[in-house]
Amino acid sequence: MKKIFGLIALLCSVVMSAQSLGYNDLGVLFSGDDNNGTARYRAMSGAFGALGGDLSALDVNPAGGAVFSKSEFSASLNFRNQMINSNYYGTNSSLEDDYSNLSQAGAVFVFKNGRSDWSKTAIGFNYSISKDFENYWVARGNSNYPTFIYDDNYTDDGDDTNDIIYLNSDGQRFENYTDGKNDKFTFSVSSQYKDDLYIGASITSNDINFYQFVSLTENNNDGNGNTLQAGLSEELYTVGNGVSFSLGLISKPTDNIRLGLAYQSPTWYRLTEEFSDGFEISGFDYTLRSPSKLTGSFAYIFDQNGLISLDYTHRNYSNTKLGPSFDFSQENDVFNTDLKSVSELRLGTEWRHKQMSFRGGYHYKQNPYEGAISSDDLTGYSLGLGYNFGNVKFDLSYENDTQTDIYDFYPQYNEVDAAELDFDTSKITATIVINI
* pLDDT digits 0-9 by tens, 366-394: 999 999 999 999 999 999 999 999 999 99
Taking residues 8-15, what's their average pLDDT?
37
Closest CA to 131 of 59, 182, 177: 182
User: Strand, helix or coil at 398?
Assistant: strand
CA distance 293 to 87: 34
- Which pLDDT does position 163 carry in this prediction? 72
In degrees and rounded to multiples of 5, residue 117 shows phi and psi of -60, -30
Summarised one tens digit per residue, pLDDT across range 39-72 is 999 999 999 999 999 999 999 999 999 999 999 9
Instruction: Say if residue 13's pLDDT is above 80.
Output: no
CA distance 251 to 64: 11
> At 40, which helix (H) or strand (E)?
helix 39-43
CA distance 145 to 166: 11
Taking residues 75-100, what's their average pLDDT?
97
- Which pLDDT does position 332 carry in this prediction? 96
N-terminal to C-terminal alpha carbon distance within the chain: 75
The Cβ of residue 120 has, within 10 Å, a number of other Cβ atoms equal to: 19
Confidence of residue 11 (pLDDT cuts 50, 70, 90): very low
Half-sphere exposure of 357 (CA within 13 A, CB side): 24
DSSP state of 405: E
CA distance 432 to 43: 14
Summarised one tens digit per residue, pLDDT across range 117-136 is 898 999 999 999 999 999 99
**Residue 142: Cβ-neighbour burial (10 angstroms; 0-12, 13-18, 19+):** middle
Contacts of 323 (CB under 8 A, 6+ apart): 286, 287, 288, 289
> At 182, which helix (H) or strand (E)?
strand 168-193
Summarised one tens digit per residue, pLDDT across range 135-163 is 999 999 999 999 888 875 555 555 555 67
Domain ranges for the chain? 3-435
Determine which of 7-16, 247-256, 276-285, 353-362 has the lowest per-residue pLDDT on average: 7-16
- Which pLDDT does position 264 carry in this prediction? 98
Average pLDDT of the chain is 92
H helical segments located in 354-401 = none
**Would residue 56 be called left, alpha or beta, if left means φ above 0 and alpha means ψ between -120 and 50 degrees?**
alpha
CA distance 264 to 248: 9
Beta bridge partners of 4: 228
Summarised one tens digit per residue, pLDDT across range 210-236 is 999 999 999 999 999 999 999 899 999
- Which pLDDT does position 158 carry in this prediction? 56
- Which pLDDT does position 153 carry in this prediction? 59
Summarised one tens digit per residue, pLDDT across range 318-339 is 999 999 988 999 999 999 999 9
Taking residues 62-84, what's their average pLDDT?
97
Determine which of 40-54, 78-92, 186-200, 277-291 has the lowest per-residue pLDDT on average: 277-291
Query: The domain 3-435 is classified under which CATH number: 2.40.160.60, 3.40.50.620, 2.60.40.10, 3.40.50.720?
Result: 2.40.160.60
Tell me the residue type at 217.
T
In terms of pLDDT, which residue wins out, 388 or 164?
388
User: Strand, helix or coil at 127?
Assistant: strand
- Which pLDDT does position 15 carry in this prediction? 38
Inter-residue contact 343 to 366 (CB < 8 Å): yes
